[in-house]
């Protein structure tokens, strides 16, 4: 395997964990800032597409199943543990998958922190598209899943091409 900057040395080992911390901190700071903003200004329409709206989510994504906070909390712990284990086991060369996992874990940790400390998650961005109200952690979770899936798809495409190339070379011999 050819080494590149994403797989070399200590940086190749720890950058996803640094991204987890950065994502978690960004989510915490955004929620803190928005809580202070709402206390001073209330809900605010920024433009025709975006409204800042203070909403507390006690359920799962999009506010579904409110009142299952303990179940969601434990499920979140299990999913986070599984994602961290998968990240730890993912080879450094699969940097796209590691990027997706790091974004997912950082965002999930931010929302889990809220559930543990307050029993609810502050959501505050509402788009005109009516896709729900969300926060920085939610964006990182969704972006992380998309990046992870794209990374997995890319690896499958590369493997398929490699097998075709090997198959073609074997047929020529």
> Is position 123 annotated as part of the catalytic site?
yes
| Long-range contacts of the stretch 48-54 (C-beta < 8 A, 24+) | 48/128, 49/127, 49/128, 49/129, 50/125, 50/126, 50/127, 50/128, 51/126, 51/128, 52/124, 52/125, 52/126, 53/124, 53/125, 53/126, 53/133, 54/122, 54/124
Using the Cα atoms of residue 81, residue 83, residue 86 and residue 87 in order, give the sign of their dihedral.
negative
Phi and psi for 3 in degrees, rounded to 5?
-85, 140
Residues acting as catalytic residues: 123, 138
């Amino acid at each position: 395997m050819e080494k590149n900057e994403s797989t070399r040395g200590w940086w190749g080992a720890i950058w996803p964990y640094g991204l987890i911390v950065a994502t978690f901190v960004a989510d915490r700071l955004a929620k803190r800032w928005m809580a202070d903003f709402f206390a001073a200004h209330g809900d605010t329409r920024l433009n025709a597409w975006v409204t800042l709206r203070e909403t507390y989510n006690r359920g799962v994504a999009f506010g579904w199943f409110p009142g299952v906070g303990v179940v969601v909390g434990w499920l979140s712990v299990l999913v986070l543990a599984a994602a961290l284990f998968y990240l730890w086991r993912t080879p450094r060369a699969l940097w796209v998958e590691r990027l997706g996992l790091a974004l997912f874990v950082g965002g999930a940790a931010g929302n889990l922190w809220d559930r543990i400390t307050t029993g609810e998650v502050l959501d505050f961005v509402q788009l005109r598209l009516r896709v729900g109200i969300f926060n920085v952690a939610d964006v990182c979770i969704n972006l992380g899943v998309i990046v992870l899936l794209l990374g997995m798809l890319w690896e499958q495409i590369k493997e398929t091409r490699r097998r075709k190339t090997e198959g073609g070379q074997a047929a020529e011999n």
